Amino acid sequence: MINVLSLFDGISCGQIALERSKIKISKYFASEIDKNAIKITQKNYPNTIQLGNINNWESWNLPKIDLLIAGSPCQGFSFAGKQLNFNDDRSKLFFVFVDILKYYKPKYFLLENVKMKKEFQDIISKNLGVEPIEINSNLVSAQNRKRLYWCNWDVTQPKDKKIYLSTIFEKDINILKKYKVNKTPSRIKMWKGKCKNITNEKKSSCVVTKQDRWNSQGLVAFENFCRFLTPTENERLQTLPDNYTFGIKDKERDKCLGNCFTVDVISHILNCANIKGVM
């Protein structure tokens, strides 16, 4: 059984991935500040030891850590944002991750982040001493989500599970009506030009923290209306169990789901380490 430290833990997708990889946990320490994310974590994993703000890490006094995992804030690096990179206070938290890595010296570490300019990717690689592997979540889910993963073991690409968008939709029409976004013929015509038609799309676009951040983000077209994806559908795109994030408002569920790992990608990466066989 291993001790795990998860930084920027979010809704603790790392714990689901560890379960799926059959890696037994002794203690799971989580650093997170979003109260809704913490609520979801504690609902699903009440034994999680919450540590609070990562900037207070020097006061934690933790036991030996075997595995350190993190999805450090990506806003400064994302091509979808202002690309402030290390000038963004959130992206500077990467260096706090490095300090914690050097202090606890875990046998294994895993860091996830978005695709970014090569010059900034190289800074991260130099600090960690390893090069990243790029994996698209579309290999294990119905979502296109390209991410970089730095870890200190060899990782292969996952096999394509050939999971398509049409397979993740909810069936209950009463639920789906709640997410309808247009009410008049003129709006139907306008939105249909911006929606992705479910009969033509094999994969969804990347799950983000706010579905209407861009005009077509999270929208799917049906015969006579468009709607947003439901939180349950977004859970399925992130390979989470149905209703894992139930218990908070939908917009907060969307935020948590946009920030989290694709669980089955993390599980695949952990399987490559064969952690359960060597700990």
Distance, in Å, from the CA atom of 161 to the CA atom of 268, rounded to the nearest integer, reads: 12
Compute the residue count for the chain: 279
Are the C-beta atoms of residues 12 and 69 closer than 8 Å to each other? no
Active site residues: 74
Distance CA 79, CA 88 (A): 13
Strand-pair category, 25-31 with 146-151: unpaired
Cα 44 to Cα 244: distance, rounded to the nearest angstrom: 7
β-bridge pairing 226-228 and 219-221: antiparallel
Q: From residue 142, how far is each of 161, 162, 255 by CA, in Å?
A: 9, 8, 19
